[in-house]
Structure 1
Amino acid sequence: PLRAAEEAYPWSTQGDAETILAAHAAAIPAPTTPPGSASKGVRVGWVNRARGAAQAGGEAARHVEWVKRLDGIWGFALWDARHRELILCRDPMGVKPLMRTQTDGGTLLFASEAKAFRHHPEYSPVMDEAAMVARLAYEYPLDETTLFAGVAQVRPGTVETWRLDESGTAVLTGVARYSRDEVKPAASWDPANDAAALLDSLCESVEDRLMSDVPLGIILSGGLDSSMVAGLAHRAAKAAGKPVPECWTVTESEDHPDYRAAEDVVAALDLGHHTSTLEEDSFWKSLPSLAWHGEDLDISVLFFQPLFENMARDVKVGLCGQGADELHGGYPRYRDLPAHRDLVRGRLMSSRHPVADAILDPEPQQGALVGAGQPWRTLDLDPDTHFADLRSTLQFELDHGQLSNFQLRLVDRHSMAHGLEVRVPFLGRAHRKMAHTLPLDWRVRGSDEKLALRAAAALTDLPPEIVSRPKLSAGTATTPTLLAELLAELRPQAQEWATSHPRLERMLEKQPDMAIGLRLFESLHLVDGGLGREGKDLMTLLDDID
């Protein structure tokens, strides 16, 4: 639609990226006089910030309306030579990554992965211990933190503007929010009248994401979410007279319930199915690659590596079921929020780090690393407040990174490592908007989850046993035996490694998988400046730390 609307733009490609340039050109005319330098910025936290940058969006505010015209997933940097302005922007949900760091000398670096910064002479990777506390307590990095000191993400749904001052130093001139999802439950919902509309919104999203000039496939776990994507893709392709996408599944055993469910789905829908079984030594062989590409601590999602590697041999685009649990209330923690509150609070209380004390403080002091352009949006993160009920929990997780910093990041990092673009139909604009209005008791009711989504799924051709099948956690439930064997072997060392971080020690003692993940993270990304270590084997990496 945007391409058709901007007929006057001198299009030179068929690529989607050019629509960004067209939308920008239509909204931002050339200046009438040559632009001058930005006013000298003041170092605030991790960035040099111009006066007024934090007020009403600063100079970024003028870009909000044209960015709203974009529909898709992106992390882009646009240099406008006419205005001598750099624009950094991420898609509304943060499907695609974009992060930045500013050196002491004032140089602004930006990339999709932190490891790219290591090749700049002024950058040296250092662990952000405050961000690590939140990662261990909440199970995902919060806000715009990464696990690297000085490296912050561009916030999803946000546009930033940067200019150079007279000395050539990069200065942040504005941060403007153009999109924010809000959980606004309606008073009622009737499956007899409303389930079809919910399904239609997802169908529309799947159809949009099937558009591709390259081969496309489906990531099929056997759970409800990916099964719905497979079923709707099958229906849409048939209706359009196009080839039906085939499915890919990886398992640790053909007896695994997820694998059997995936087989049931492809049999019911007559889909092509590519399967692979993890080898017994998969964790030992492949964890270094997982940690290298992921830049995180999670070792349980090893299955992503062979899954995406296998898919990339045949297709260049994949569709997945990510986002459904966040929208529709699929995670087990939603059914027992008091236990979740106690778990997170207990982890914070066991930390000896000041950021944990600040989070648990009823009136936390907001420091220099909080606010526009900084890694933290707020330190008002008390689990007792934000996990008090389902609505506030869902909103907190949307606002503070559970989806963008964990689920979406995992899939994007490990798929793009193999040149595979993964699209997320559940996060299509129309489906998100409708899902946010679902009454809470149509998301979670007693021990049941995703009730509204299951009502919509019942209108598809999926087998009834798939529609009613309860969720299994990806990662730990996908490879339970292989992961348990690794943890049993390394548990004594994990307890020892935990002592290397006194302020994190008690958190790590109760999470041996995180202790192993942190050790691997340090070895790959911090030792020797993070350069030249990705080719080493697992035990060499785990042992090779002073």
Structure 2
Amino acid sequence: MCGIAGVLGHPDAAVLQRMNHLQRHRGPDENDVWLDEHVGFAHARLSILDLQSSQQPMTGAEGAVVILNGEIYNHQDLRNQHATYPFQTAGDTEAILAAHLAARRKNHAGTMSAKDHAAWLASLDGMYAIALWHPPSRELILARDPMGIKPLSRTVVGDSMMFASEIKAFRADERHVPVLDDVAMAARLVWEYPLDATTLLKGVHQVRPGTVERWGLGQHGQPELIDVADIERQVLNPQGEWDPEANASTLLESFVSGVQQRLMADVPVGIVLSGGLDSSLVAAVAHEAAERAQQPVPECWTVAESEDNPDWKAAEVVAAHHDLVHHQHLLEASSFEKRLPQLAWHGEDADVWSCSFPPSNTWPITSKNRPLRARWGERTPAIPATVP
């Protein structure tokens, strides 16, 4: 994961630097800021592809500037489709700039609506939160992948709109005063997960999953939301009946392909193996997916409070059965209590998963001895539905 942040309206370099600092845990490898008169971007990078290049914020061939949190799995296909673009890197971020420029050149009217942007964003296969500034039109787009895997929130502070991967970044501007939204909290206590664009703070909203927002500037330089559109990645057509004999191989191929895509990296990739169904499925196809991706077979990591934990034992069985290198870490009994303030700081929302076991809680374990990017089995059953 990386951390992205920015200000539209009246950006300040010091505020952008503080936003980066507040999200430094998301991107420990590099951080940088970029700004002009109307917009400023901040990026904290966790390097996965093209380690020596692909620094962000990244400027395109005709001046557009982009920041990305996520991965674009089909970036090689996009490079082939836009072969005339003067690529300067080998990473996935630049493929976004190429797709955007191609769409602009096809749009003879000059102005692009949110729906126009949604059309080229639909060509991206991946998980992402994107901010892209186009200086000639003085327009900013904010976009999230259809599954909403990568977070992106925004708020208005004074005469500017601020956006970031995590709402704590808004504390970089002393004018931002966080106030608990009691209604949003009540809804989460009932449903356990956020069901709308609210956050736990009044006036702070999420960019909805699978949408693109187009922002501009008013007469006096104030930020204005112009329009919003849905990103149509694919149309699902569920069947009333499912024949395992006829369709199991197709489902398996889709799943293996999805894992293969997620092994795309220039650093070691590991599997957080909980012993549950989701991560065990990922482990089961690890060898085949790695061979297809021409990558090393990922190693596995398991964390538990006791060796008697049934998930710990299940993870041992899975790793041994599939001949995977398995690292195990026992948590101290008092570790949860000790880390409670950290869990609250990183959780940010009343989400059952992120509050109980946020990914940031495992990075010290998985990357203690070498650079490693962890892959989670979380929500694995959704993968076949998200891979075309």
Q: Which residue of 2 aligns with 1:78?
A: 132
Q: Which residue of 1 aligns with 2:373?
A: 317
After superposition, the C-alpha distances for 1:156-201 in whole angstroms (9 at most, x for unaligned) are 1111100001111101001000137777531211112211111111
Residue identity matched to 2:127: I
Is 1:262 paired with 2:319? no
Displacement of 1:292 = 0.5
Distance 1:240 1:177 in 2: 31
Is 1:29 paired with 2:82? no
Displacement of 1:429 = 2.1
Q: What secondary structure sits across from 1:175 in the alignment?
A: strand
Displacement of 1:239 = 5.3
After superposition, the C-alpha distances for 1:223-253 in whole angstroms (9 at most, x for unaligned) are 1211110111222224565421100110111
**Any stretches of 5+ residues in structure 2 without a counterpart?**
1-76
Q: What secondary structure sits across from 1:258 in the alignment?
A: helix
Q: Which residue of 2 aligns with 1:212?
A: 265
Residue identity matched to 2:143: C
Tell whether the 8 Å contact from 2:268 to 2:296 is kept in structure 1 after alignment: no
Change (3 A) 1:282 1:427: farther
Residue identity matched to 1:164: L
Change (3 A) 1:208 1:131: same
Distance 1:100 1:306 in 2: 25
Tell whether the 8 Å contact from 2:343 to 2:355 is kept in structure 1 after alignment: no
Displacement of 1:13 = 1.3
Larger radius of gyration: 1
Q: Which residue of 2 aligns with 1:188?
A: 241
After superposition, the C-alpha distances for 1:247-286 in whole angstroms (9 at most, x for unaligned) are 0110111111111000001111111011111101112211
Tell whether the 8 Å contact from 1:250 to 1:303 is kept in structure 2 after alignment: no
Q: Which residue of 1 aligns with 2:356?
A: 301
Displacement of 1:304 = 4.8
Distance 2:108 2:233 in 1: 34
Distance 2:114 2:196 in 1: 20
Residue identity matched to 1:20: I
Match of 1:67 among 117, 121, 124: 121
Residue identity matched to 2:84: A
Q: Which residue of 2 aligns with 1:53?
A: none
Tell whether the 8 Å contact from 1:31 to 1:82 is kept in structure 2 after alignment: no
Is 1:281 paired with 2:281? no
After superposition, the C-alpha distances for 1:71-128 in whole angstroms (9 at most, x for unaligned) are 111101100001110011011111111110013x331111111111111133111111
The aligned runs of 1:445-524 (5 Å cut-off) are none
Q: Which residue of 1 aligns with 2:156?
A: 102
Q: What secondary structure sits across from 2:228 in the alignment?
A: strand
Is 1:165 paired with 2:218? yes
- Between the two proteins, the alignment pairs up a number of residues equal to 309
Displacement of 1:308 = 3.0
More helix by share: 1
The aligned runs of 1:379-398 (5 Å cut-off) are none
Tell whether the 8 Å contact from 1:217 to 1:315 is kept in structure 2 after alignment: no
After superposition, the C-alpha distances for 1:207-226 in whole angstroms (9 at most, x for unaligned) are 11111111100111111211
Change (3 A) 1:128 1:301: same
Distance 1:106 1:241 in 2: 50
Tell whether the 8 Å contact from 2:347 to 2:355 is kept in structure 1 after alignment: no
Distance 2:102 2:271 in 1: 36
Displacement of 1:301 = 1.8
Tell whether the 8 Å contact from 1:220 to 1:230 is kept in structure 2 after alignment: yes
Change (3 A) 1:226 1:118: same
Distance 1:319 1:187 in 2: 33
Q: Which residue of 2 aligns with 1:6?
A: 82
Change (3 A) 1:34 1:229: closer
Tell whether the 8 Å contact from 2:302 to 2:327 is kept in structure 1 after alignment: yes
Tell whether the 8 Å contact from 2:144 to 2:152 is kept in structure 1 after alignment: yes
Q: What secondary structure sits across from 1:234 in the alignment?
A: helix
Is 1:148 paired with 2:201? yes
After superposition, the C-alpha distances for 1:393-423 in whole angstroms (9 at most, x for unaligned) are xxxxxxxxxxxxxxxxxxxxxxxxxxxxxxx
After superposition, the C-alpha distances for 1:491-538 in whole angstroms (9 at most, x for unaligned) are xxxxxxxxxxxxxxxxxxxxxxxxxxxxxxxxxxxxxxxxxxxxxxxx
Is 1:203 paired with 2:290? no
More strand by share: 2
Distance 1:241 1:112 in 2: 32
Tell whether the 8 Å contact from 1:322 to 1:426 is kept in structure 2 after alignment: no
Change (3 A) 1:198 1:275: same
Distance 1:33 1:205 in 2: 38
Is 1:117 paired with 2:154? no
Q: Does 1 or 2 have the higher relative contact order (CA < 8 Å, sep 6+)?
A: 1
TM-score when scaled to structure 2? 0.74
Displacement of 1:11 = 1.1
Match of 2:300 among 247, 267, 271: 247
CA RMSD of aligned residues (A): 2.4
Q: Which residue of 2 aligns with 1:17?
A: 93
Displacement of 1:306 = 4.4
Change (3 A) 1:120 1:426: farther
